[in-house]
Structure 1
Amino acid sequence: MASPTQIHVDADNTGLWRIQQTPEASDRVSSLLQQDLETHHVFFNNDGFHNHITHHLLSLYGTGADVSAIQKGYDDNKGYQREARPVHNPKEGSDPPGAASGPLADDWYETTAPQHLGHESYYPDFLRFFQHDIARRDEEANKAGSNLAGWEAVLRDRVFSGTPAAEDLRTRLFAGFLHPLIQLMYGIEWGEPAIVAQGLAQAAIHKHQGLDDVLYSMEKAADAEKAKTTGHVSILSLFQEVAQSPQLSSAAHWDDPNKMRNGVLARALNEMVAVAAKVSVPATEEGLAARTAEMAEACLYVASSAALQHPTKYTKFDFFLIHHVNSVPFFLAINSFVWLSVEAKARLLEWKIRLDLVQYASRACPPLLDVSKLEAYKSPPSSNASAHPAADGPSTTNNSISPEATEAAARLFHMEEDGHAIKLVRATGLIEREVRKSLFTRTPCRLLNSDRVWEALYRLETDSVFAPGNTYVRTTGLEQAWEDIPDISK
């Protein structure tokens, strides 16, 4: 049974794809995730690069990979991870003193932890605290006869309660190119308390770096905008507005250390806030579902369009833009929680859409192609994808996930990568299902509305990672990002 310190993934618990796995795969993924929890740090180097093993293995497992593929995914990535660190002990002269005056104490987060927020060396302390906090809530729920899981109660109180501490932690979830949110995503999607604790601890050690000020400035401006705006402003139109802004489209420079912080938010903050203020999500179940599907489709469209902007070169997705696609399942999962108000869900989605727009500007606004160009995509004659046939996929697919998505995922099962590729295909499969079923399909702003375009997107995603050159480009709207990508062989 899964607990805050023990990972156990059942064969019928495969996340939102809802396939059936084997007992052997269940045992293996549980064992490997437990090893990762106990032996690896959340960052694999001193620059804060993230450990993706949880994302990778659960994405493989959740799309039908067998034991050998899951084991390969772990083996390919365990070698460069940093070892887990112990919890600080003030008796051993830790600096600063009192770092762990008791991470198991119920008030530790409020009393001692704040001085350590944003410091990665305290990840084990935050992890232990959240594990204990979840376990304590489980005990309380059992005594009270409540159906609310301990990890759900912790999220409710630590992230969504509206207290200053909760507001702070929620903001940190969006830091680090959404990595804390993505880590938490796998915990809530699979209902794994230990992974929820990992996600919250990871959020706690990320620095704001001005993100909190930006998000709240956008929210304040949005409140004023709502008072004078009527009707629906499509997300696509906001991406187009960003692209058409001379200030925003030129704000990111190649030599910026961080294209978001040192580029867009330093050179065009007012313009960015003005566009982001137009983001609004209705606080109704129907409006939330439609806007979630619209957000998901827009992120996928923008990332795919950017990958095709150089017709003479092999296609490549932007490393940063795909995180805004890969994080979509978080919002699909959290929208299903009955214990969270629709107002809180809508606010969370508004933050995501605003950051989608900021990230697009930070990648120098790659062209937004006509959807017909996506539909017309063909694998290049020299594509390496044909050399990587699909492995056997899941035995049952009674889940509305398309055969094209299943085949694309299976093509990646034995690829040597860190999980970004399989996450992209998994998210695309969910986005396709969501867009096809949503009320959003009845609105005129729907983009991806044909079988042909979905088939092309899956080919594009698999072709791009097997094509020669770097697996991804970074800041795709700048020509320097494409200099090392080869031209397509004739």
Structure 2
Amino acid sequence: MASAYKIHLTVNDTGIVPNKPQTDEAAFKISELLQENHDKHHAYWGRIGFHNHIVHHLLTLYGVGAPASIIEQRYKENAPDMRPVMDKDDIPIENLYNLETFNKCLGIEKYYHSFLLFFQKEMEEKGWEKVLQEYVFAGDERADDLMGRLYDGFLHPLIHLGFGIEFNQPVIMCEGLAQAATHWNWTGKFLQSAEEAAKSNPNPTSKSMVELHDEIYADKKLSTAADWNDDNKVRDGILVRAPGEMMRIARQWIVTPENLEQKTAEMINSVIYFTAAAQRPPKQIRFDFYFMHCLNASIFFPTLNKLSWLSTANKVRLLQWKGHLDLAMYASRRSPPLLLEEIATYVPAKLERGDAEWPGIFRRLEEFKDDGHAIKLGRAVRNGELVAGKYGDVEWERIKGFMWEKIGNMVIDSVEDEGVTWVRSAGFDEAWVDYKDRPRQTSI
């Protein structure tokens, strides 16, 4: 049985995107390898900001039905690059029960292991639900601070925690909380300010994300606020050169208990839209590395919405913060034009033997050697089809029908293509200089 110290997956712990059933052999192998990763490897493979993706990669493979042999092969390819876990704690975990000490250690990477052991101890004694309620969702200053840190680092702590919740693994939840505790809190400060701005909006009727994308694109001060040389294009670009303009946009996207389910679908559809449509013809099809993290994080919100112990108010808050960060992320890459025709007219590279249908797409993604970003992207797109594809013809629905599977093909075709795998900051001319022009396509 899974606990705060032991990883244990069964054939029923396969997540929310069905593809192929799992086997006892694969369940045993992934449990063994994720436990080894937990025991031997640090959460960061370099300094903070460079994350160990083994958990994300293996669970995604397992979730789409990859066999034990593939799961083990991908682990062996990535494990040698990982940083060893600390062999000692920088602070006794008992000291973290003191709120002043807890706060002083936040945002400092060397305390990751101490925070990890602290949350494991708490979770073993109280259960994971009560720990998340107390440390993330209590609504007090400490919880709000930690919740904000979940969204930092291009959403990596939230993604890690989300995998733990989706696959019922408390150990992985503890890793996600410890990651959050050692990330920065500037993201949370922005999100809390955006939340307050949305509450003060005299017009409580929310605009759609796609309407706000258009407003960002049309606002030249906001859409050009980030500079290519900014170390962090949200923090050092958008929030320095156009903070008022960004807040004006954010305050117009409002989630309520009544529209929570539909706004979840809207967020998922819109993030897939701006990630897939941010292309630069005639350059090769590529996905923006930073937008991709917004998309990969979107997969967990239907699971969060189903948690019976989590209040509706907190579900609303989680989603609204995600939407506000997505809007800031779109602006931060110089707001690339969103070319829906690039999706609608896309011709998959492999149309034979079912390679262009979802089972074939996932098989090809299983075979692709990387750190897991590609298959996470493919699974998140398929989740979008399952969650957001049921709404029919609504104003915010940009991705619909055949487009879902076409985007799945764009994902696998782009990473199988020659050259650099991801484009970084798709709205900048500088980001595309290393990519070749592609042959002209014909619509199918």
User: Common fold, TM-score beyond 0.5?
Assistant: yes
Identity %: 39
Q: Which residue of 2 aligns with 1:272?
A: 246
1:305-344 alignment, distance < 5 Å: 305-306=277-278, 309-344=279-314
Q: AA paired with 2:58? A: L
1:376-395 alignment, distance < 5 Å: 376-379=345-348
Taking structure 1 as reference, are residues 155 and 441 closer, same or farther at Cα in structure 2, changes over 3 Å only? farther
Q: AA paired with 1:11? A: V
Contact in 2 for aligned 1:171/1:212 (Cα 8 Å):
yes
Q: Give the drift of 1:421.
A: 0.4
Where 1:220 maps in the other structure, the secondary structure is helix
Where 1:317 maps in the other structure, the secondary structure is coil
TM-score, length of structure 2 as denominator length: 0.95
Contact in 2 for aligned 1:187/1:195 (Cα 8 Å):
yes
Q: Give the drift of 1:240.
A: 1.0
Q: Which residue of 2 aligns with 1:243?
A: 217
Q: Which residue of 1 aligns with 2:12?
A: 12
1:121 matched to 2:114? The reply is no
Q: Which residue of 2 aligns with 1:367?
A: 337
Q: AA paired with 2:111? A: Y
1:484 matched to 2:434? The reply is yes
What is the rounded CA distance, in whole Å, between the counterparts of 1:11 and 1:276 in structure 2?
41
What is the rounded CA distance, in whole Å, between the counterparts of 2:53 and 2:353 in structure 1?
23
1:181-192 alignment, distance < 5 Å: 181-192=158-169
Q: Which runs of 4+ in 1 moved over 3 A?
A: 385-390
Gaps of 5+ in 2: none
Where 1:441 maps in the other structure, the secondary structure is coil
TM-score, length of structure 1 as denominator length: 0.86
Q: Give the drift of 1:220.
A: 1.6
Q: Which residue of 2 aligns with 1:171?
A: 148
Q: Give the drift of 1:363.
A: 0.8
Where 1:320 maps in the other structure, the secondary structure is helix
Gaps of 5+ in 1: 90-98, 138-149, 391-402
1:152-301 alignment, distance < 5 Å: 152-208=129-185, 210-225=186-201, 228-284=202-258, 287-301=259-273
Contact in 2 for aligned 1:405/1:426 (Cα 8 Å):
no
Q: AA paired with 2:56? A: H
Q: AA paired with 2:314? A: A
Q: AA paired with 1:329? A: I
Q: Deviations over 1:33-73 (max 9, x none)?
A: 00110011111112530000000000000011111211121
What is the rounded CA distance, in whole Å, between the counterparts of 2:343 and 2:360 in structure 1?
19
Q: Give the drift of 1:442.
A: 5.3
Q: Which residue of 2 aligns with 1:51?
A: 52
Taking structure 1 as reference, are residues 247 and 388 closer, same or farther at Cα in structure 2, changes over 3 Å only? farther
Q: AA paired with 1:315? A: I
Q: Give the drift of 1:372.
A: 4.0
Q: Give the drift of 1:486.
A: 1.6
Q: Which residue of 2 aligns with 1:36?
A: 37
Where 1:281 maps in the other structure, the secondary structure is coil
Q: Give the drift of 1:409.
A: 1.3
Q: AA paired with 1:61? A: Y
Contact in 1 for aligned 2:205/2:254 (Cα 8 Å):
no
Q: Which of 345, 355, 360 lines up with 1:407 in the alignment? A: 360
What is the rounded CA distance, in whole Å, between the counterparts of 1:431 and 1:113 in structure 2?
38
Q: Give the drift of 1:338.
A: 1.0
Q: CA RMSD in A?
A: 1.9
Taking structure 1 as reference, are residues 364 and 11 closer, same or farther at Cα in structure 2, changes over 3 Å only? same
What is the rounded CA distance, in whole Å, between the counterparts of 2:270 and 2:314 in structure 1?
22
Q: Give the drift of 1:290.
A: 0.5
Contact in 1 for aligned 2:146/2:181 (Cα 8 Å):
yes
Taking structure 1 as reference, are residues 40 and 389 closer, same or farther at Cα in structure 2, changes over 3 Å only? farther
What is the rounded CA distance, in whole Å, between the counterparts of 2:292 and 2:353 in structure 1?
22
Contact in 1 for aligned 2:206/2:255 (Cα 8 Å):
no
Contact in 2 for aligned 1:388/1:411 (Cα 8 Å):
no
Where 2:299 maps in the other structure, the secondary structure is helix
What is the rounded CA distance, in whole Å, between the counterparts of 1:301 and 1:388 in structure 2?
28
Taking structure 1 as reference, are residues 122 and 305 closer, same or farther at Cα in structure 2, changes over 3 Å only? same
Q: Which of 383, 386, 411 lines up with 1:433 in the alignment? A: 386
1:462 matched to 2:438? The reply is no
What is the rounded CA distance, in whole Å, between the counterparts of 2:384 and 2:101 in structure 1?
41
What is the rounded CA distance, in whole Å, between the counterparts of 2:399 and 2:288 in structure 1?
20
Taking structure 1 as reference, are residues 240 and 166 closer, same or farther at Cα in structure 2, changes over 3 Å only? same
Q: AA paired with 2:72? A: Q
Q: AA paired with 1:177? A: F
Q: AA paired with 1:160? A: F
